[in-house]
Amino acid sequence: MATRTRYLCQQCGYVSARWLGRCPACNNWNSLVEEIVPGAGEKKRTGSSSPVEVFLLSQVPRRAEERWSTGMGELDRVLGGGIVPGSLVLLGGDPGIGKSTLLLQVAGRLAGSDLPVLYASGEESASQVAMRASRLGIDGRIYLLAQNDLDNILHQVRLLSPAVLVVDSIQAVYRPALESAPGSVGQVRECAGQLMHLAKQEQVAVFLVGHVTKEGALAGPRVLEHMVDTVLYFEGERHQTYRVLRSVKNRFGSTNEIGIFQMHQQGLVEVDNPSALFLMDHPQGSVPGAVVTATMEGTRPLLVELQALVCQSGYATPRRMTAGLDYNRVALIMAVLEKRLGLQLGGLDAYVNAVGGVRLLEPGIDLAVALALASSYRERPVSRKLVAVGEVGLTGEVRPVAGIKQRVGEAVRLGFTRFLLPAAADLDSLQAEISRAQVFPVFTLGEALEIAFAAG
């Protein structure tokens, strides 16, 4: 019996026998998605299935957590300790950022640990993948399948019984039963659903490579991110060598961890000291507008230099630009500096940058941003040995943030000796660190600026 399809509106549920650009019921554009209509035999089998056993939560058998190490400590950190059998992981990122390189390196290390891996490439030929593997020095027992027909991929999985399956990419594979082209909403959703069932039933860990749109979001239906167990984003500037692997969803670990790599000719290399990537070495010593802060990415403290440039505007409306920081947060801090401390920033251009292209979103960097702006405005440098941490409120107060001990410990390890910290923070827990450093507790932003410029 031939497989039938229909088109279902994702907004109102309207059903059409053919695709329509606009839904006649709710008038939404491009909301009709193709889906398979089960035949009569399939419905009958579904209705006559055997009863499902129900357990009390306390009666569910517990098993020891099993994870496979990828051989890359940074990736294991982001995954929550390693690969969980039967998990479905989605890896997204810009074109050319290194998604395929990362997964091919992981496949090589897993194969070297006697875990069978099937690498299904829907975008490159077998010879192209083999050329990249040769360049990366990978010579493991990796099963390679250059195929984008999902039925063929599933057939090979059942024949080879791999522990890990890599699908590159989910937008390239398709099911012949659907008439739509690969990458369409219906194809992506159906293929992801089939791979999810495979992962859970066969206990195969599945990695999916996902394309991103020009806005930076994962292409395809939003349900794709809901279906998978883990969503990873591979970030970085194409003109720089470092890459940041960030978890935005993880059912088996924290979503706050990041992994940092550097891209070399031989592939991706883990970074042992990530703070060194984001600190600038100024030969002339302290310069106005440069302040070091300590931020937390999950359980990992990172030291990052923030740079600000405040100058006369050549336009009727002053320009405000940020790189790696939240624009609205910087605008808020500038308003506090102008209202509470009298810095006339309203008619000046302001540019704020996080060195190295890293993205910082947590409020603990507020104090460093304020110091950098004030330092550039007053043309007075801040000491190169000073680290500023704290959240700035609208009344000009400096609030405590989490992870003070880890931040200070990382800074002391890298040779920093002076710290501007919120007075309300738990400074008693810093006895070991304080003995080797000088700590200035501050209540307000005004106190922080006065101490910073006096110490500079």
Q: Note the helical H segments in 124-227.
A: 126-135, 150-160, 185-202, 223-227
Query: For domain 277-455, which CATH number applies: 3.30.230.10, 3.40.190.10, 3.30.9.30, 1.10.10.10?
Result: 3.30.230.10
Q: Where are the domains of the chain?
A: 4-46, 66-272, 277-455
Per-residue tokens: 87: 């998990």
| Distance separating alpha carbons of residues 384 and 365, to the nearest angstrom | 16
Give 331's contacts (C-beta < 8 A, 6+ positions apart). 320
What mean pLDDT do residues 78-104 have? 93
Q: What's the pLDDT score for residue 69? A: 94
Instruction: Specify the CATH architecture of the domain 66-272.
Output: 3-Layer(aba) Sandwich (3.40)
What's the per-residue H, E or C state across 197-261?
A: HHHHHHCCEEEEEECECCCCCECCCCHHHHHCCEEEEEECCCCCCEEEEEEEEECCCCCCCEEEE
Element (H, E) at 412: helix 404-413
| Distance separating alpha carbons of residues 320 and 348, to the nearest angstrom | 9
What mean pLDDT do residues 426-453 have? 84
Q: What's the pLDDT score for residue 47? A: 47
User: Residues 48-85: pLDDT tens digits?
Assistant: 456 778 888 888 877 767 899 999 999 999 999 999 99
> Would you say 439 and 421 are in contact if contact means Cβ atoms under 8 Å apart?
yes
Per-residue tokens: 428: 């008693």
| Distance separating alpha carbons of residues 102 and 347, to the nearest angstrom | 47
Evaluate if residue 40 carries a pLDDT over 60: no
| Distance separating alpha carbons of residues 140 and 133, to the nearest angstrom | 9
Q: Grade residue 283 by pLDDT with cuts at 50, 70 and 90.
A: low
Looking at residue 3, its amino acid is T
Q: What's the pLDDT score for residue 327? A: 96
C-alpha separations of 298 from 42, 80, 265, 302, 369 in Å: 47, 11, 30, 10, 21
Q: What's the pLDDT score for residue 12? A: 80
**213-217, 247-251, 272-276, range with the lowest pLDDT:** 213-217
| Distance separating alpha carbons of residues 174 and 181, to the nearest angstrom | 7
For the entire predicted model, the pTM comes to 0.77
Evaluate if residue 195 carries a pLDDT over 80: yes
Per-residue tokens: 413: 């390890």
What mean pLDDT do residues 328-354 have? 95
User: Residues 106-136: pLDDT tens digits?
Assistant: 999 999 888 999 999 999 999 999 999 999 9
Q: What's the pLDDT score for residue 266? A: 84
The total of other beta-carbon atoms located within 10 Å of residue 88's CB is 24
Looking at residue 199, its amino acid is A
Q: What's the pLDDT score for residue 143? A: 95
